[in-house]
């Protein structure tokens, strides 16, 4: 637990909850470098998805975050900008990027967020360094996710100007989790019959 992170949750976040996400086939456009430059990748993905009819009000955009900004040099940070595809969708091999990747799904702790891009970092810090260590949960995967509102995906450069000026964004911060039965004991890995996949992503 990091003592420099305030214990009080940021005003931009809602109450954390748990959910089981289903496996998701995504079209992922990779980005390597500072997170502040990731908008260029989202713009490429947004244009690509719009041209192919894959960006609709029912589309689920996803950020896949592979590294911790606190320990990874900014020029080595890895992120995928992605949209969820129908399970039977196949991307042409000569169309890459984006690349077709299947996220494994599983249990996640979810933190609703509604605010500017400038407060996302503080919200992630509270979620990962304050709430998570006190939750009794164990980290299952190093990949973190953000589930976005499709209306926030840029398809032209002008779409990003309101975001820079402080337009509120809506997303869900996601930590992949396992339950720990008691302090000091390893997490157990078995199928819990009470865990049912979320069938309607639009309800997330």
Q: Residue 2 falls within a domain, yes or no?
A: no
| CB hemisphere CA count around 108 (13 angstroms) | 26
Q: Residue 25 falls within a domain, yes or no?
A: yes
Q: Residue 159 falls within a domain, yes or no?
A: yes
- What is the pTM (predicted TM-score) of this model? 0.84
β-sheet bridge partners, residue 172: 112, 147
CATH classification at residue 180: 3.20.80.10
What is the number of domains present in the chain? 1
Q: Residue 26 falls within a domain, yes or no?
A: yes
Annotate 179-194 with b (16+ C-beta within 10 A) or e (fewer). eeeeeeeeeeeeeeee
Question: How far is residue 191 CA from its own chain's centroid?
Answer: 24
> Residue 187 has what pLDDT?
43
157 three-class SS: helix
Q: Residue 7 falls within a domain, yes or no?
A: no
What is the domain extent for residue 22?
17-203
**What average pLDDT does the segment 153-173 reach?**
92
Q: Residue 10 falls within a domain, yes or no?
A: no
Q: Is the distance from CB of 161 to CB of 152 less than 8 angstroms? A: no
> Residue 164 has what pLDDT?
85
Q: Residue 27 falls within a domain, yes or no?
A: yes
Is the bond preceding residue 203 a cis peptide, omega within 30 degrees? no
Q: Residue 90 falls within a domain, yes or no?
A: yes
The residue count of the chain comes to: 204
**What average pLDDT does the segment 74-88 reach?**
95
| CB hemisphere CA count around 187 (13 angstroms) | 14
Is residue 79's pLDDT more than 90? yes
For 114, the enclosing helix (H) or strand (E) is strand 106-115
């Amino acid at each position: 637990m990091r003592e420099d992170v305030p214990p009080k949750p940021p005003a931009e976040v809602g109450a954390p909850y748990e959910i089981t996400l289903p496996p998701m086939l995504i079209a992922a456009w990779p980005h390597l470098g500072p997170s502040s430059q990731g908008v260029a990748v989202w713009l490429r993905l947004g244009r690509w998805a719009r041209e192919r009819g894959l960006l609709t009000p029912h589309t689920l955009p996803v950020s896949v975050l592979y590294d911790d900004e606190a320990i990874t040099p900014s020029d080595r940070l890895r992120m995928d900008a992605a949209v969820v595809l129908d399970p039977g969708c196949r991307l042409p091999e000569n169309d890459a990027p984006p690349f077709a990747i299947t996220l494994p799904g599983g249990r996640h702790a979810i933190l609703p967020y509604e605010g500017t891009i400038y407060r996302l970092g503080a919200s992630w810090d509270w979620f990962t360094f304050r709430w998570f260590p006190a939750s009794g949960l164990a980290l299952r995967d190093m990949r973190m996710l953000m589930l976005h509102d499709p209306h926030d995906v840029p398809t032209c450069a002008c779409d990003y100007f309101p975001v820079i000026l402080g337009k509120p964004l809506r997303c869900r911060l996601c930590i992949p989790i396992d339950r720990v039965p008691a302090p000091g004991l390893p997490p157990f890995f078995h199928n819990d019959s009470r865990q049912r996949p979320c069938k309607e992503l639009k309800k997330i």
